[in-house]
Chains A and B, each alone.
Chain A
Amino acid sequence: MDQPRTDEDQQLVARTQEGDASAFDQLVVKYTPRLYGLVYNMTSNHEDTNDLLQDIFAKAYKAIRGFRGKSSFYTWIHSIAVNMTLNFLKKRGRRFQLSLDDVDASIQNDKEFLEATASTSPVREADLSELQKRLNEAMMKLSDEHRAVVTMFHIQGMPHAEISKILRVSEGTVRSRLFYANRQLQNYLDEFRKNPVT
């Protein structure tokens, strides 16, 4: 997933800092889908995601006057989103609210999805919806920090360097968390494949 043009963001940020609220509206429109995917895959709940997104943009609007451009707006807004979501998850605790088990029907017609579930794959033998559900469950078994890294790297397609900036950890830490999370997901899905739930 490519990053948006930073110079355009800088102009919108500068206009917002000068008091042009419509410029911030453009930033909201631009970043809502991207941040929705990030927050939704970390919380697995649409209502929580909606509330968090509103809070994230409200906080960003209040804090944008202090934004000095040391990082890109993309990194800055993602940092706010990840930190607020992690704080929310800590408050929410480990209660399991899985609401994304209903896979979007359009996925099953998607080219990438069909390729991923093509022949010679163990996925073929499993019910796809069930497999997706199991994957979501496996995601929720990860710690919040590991799930954040998996979401940003695998789902959002961010590079390691960008993730390390957002989380303010080293790239080695990002790679380590990814490796550990992949092992956990792999074990969980293998267990499901060996003992499928009918």
Chain B
Amino acid sequence: MDEFNDNQITKLLRLKRYEQPPPGYFDNFLHEFHRRQRDELLRQPLWRICVDRARDFAFSFNLSTLTSYPVAVTAVLVCAAVISLKIYQTPQPATVAVKDQQVLVVPASAEPEWTLASPAATRVFNTRSLRNMTESAQTHRSGTPRYVLDSVPVSYETTFKF
């Protein structure tokens, strides 16, 4: 008995092209296709329909050509993002509160006073007119350093008694 060869198998397989669907199948296929398309459309949520419409609108302007240059589009988007960040991060000019320069004015009467009441030879500054409450609040913010000796510590030495 002969065996099947390639040619015979080929002929047998080619016969399968005659296998056809039930009669009328191809006539109804397009109607079935339309029906399924409508059903699928009705099942879609509203947002999906809107997205599809927007996409179709974009395609109508031939924006799809941009997608053929994804690297270029990405580069443009990255550049735009960087530039926008730079703009938002530009430092504002520093606003420095300008205060009146408080010049320490030592009145002429502020002579050192030597008093015998002091138990020790202590120089007492007259601080009466040097500061007031409002000035003291501004002292720390003035431009030039200002050292104010508010009071002289008393000596802890025992007083001499004659």
Contact = CB atoms under 8 A, between A and B. Distances in A.
Interface in A89-117: 100, 103-104, 106-107, 110, 112-113, 115-116
B15 A107 contact: yes
A29 B16 contact: no
A189 B1 CA distance: 13
Interface of A: 1, 25, 28-29, 32-33, 36-37, 40-41, 46, 49-50, 53-54, 57-58, 61, 65-66, 100, 103-104, 106-107, 110, 112-113, 115-116, 120-123, 125, 131-132, 135-136, 150, 154-157, 182, 185-186, 189-190, 193-194
Interface residues of B, number: 33
A1 B1 CA distance: 33
Interface of B: 1-6, 8-22, 25-26, 29-30, 32-33, 36-37, 40, 56, 59, 64
B36 A54 contact: yes
A46 B21 CA distance: 7
Nearest to B11: A116
B33 A54 contact: yes
A160 B3 CA distance: 26
Contact of A100 (B19, B25, B32, B40): B19
Contacts of B6: 182, 186
A126 to B, nearest CB: 10
Given A29-B26, A50-B25, A185-B13, 20 more contacts: A32-B29, A33-B26, A37-B16, A41-B16, A41-B19, A54-B36, A58-B40, A65-B59, A66-B64, A103-B19, A113-B15, A115-B11, A116-B14, A154-B10, A154-B13, A154-B14, A157-B17, A182-B6, A193-B3, A194-B1
B4 A193 contact: yes
A186 B8 CA distance: 9
A163 to B, nearest CB: 14
Contact of A110 (B15, B33, B64): B15
A13 B52 CA distance: 20
Most buried by A among B11, B15, B18, B59: B15
